[in-house]
Amino acid sequence: MNEEQLTQLVVDAIEDVKGADIKVLDVRGKSSVTDIMVMATGNTARQVKAIADSIVVKAKAGGVKPLGMEGEQHAEWVLVDLGDVVAHIMQPSIRDFYNLEKLWGEDSPKAVEK
């Protein structure tokens, strides 16, 4: 599965569980960890966990084994690592506080190559 297909799979999984405010950021050149970050909001811990679980289930069904999932115990912010695509699913207050779109968006500096 290529990067574009994997990104669409993540977006579809989020939409299936009614995730809100989905943003896809290309962070190539800014991060050595991943190429694409997908961010979305879930209104409750239960919804955040359900969205993350949906991503994992769809990824596995598509032949992609997740590298890891963090934060599912409290589900204020759950990160699903699929390698080239990383999904951040957050409750509204957490998303507002960390404002990853500003940190990783177009205005953020490019990573320095060493």
Over residues 88-106, the pLDDT tens digits come to 999 999 999 999 888 777 5
Burial class (CB in 10 A: 0-12, 13-18, 19+), 107: exposed
pTM equals 0.88
| Alpha carbon distance 33, 19 (integer Å) | 24
Of residues 86 and 100, the one with the higher pLDDT is 86
> Domain residues of the chain, as ranges?
3-104
Give the domain 3-104 fold: Beta Polymerase; domain 2 (3.30.460)
Quick one: what percent of the chain has pLDDT higher than 70?
92
User: Would you give the distance in Å from CA 84 to the centre of its chain?
Assistant: 11
pLDDT higher than threshold 60 for residue 114: no
* Structure confidence at residue 110 (pLDDT): 45
Find the mean pLDDT for residues 66-86: 95
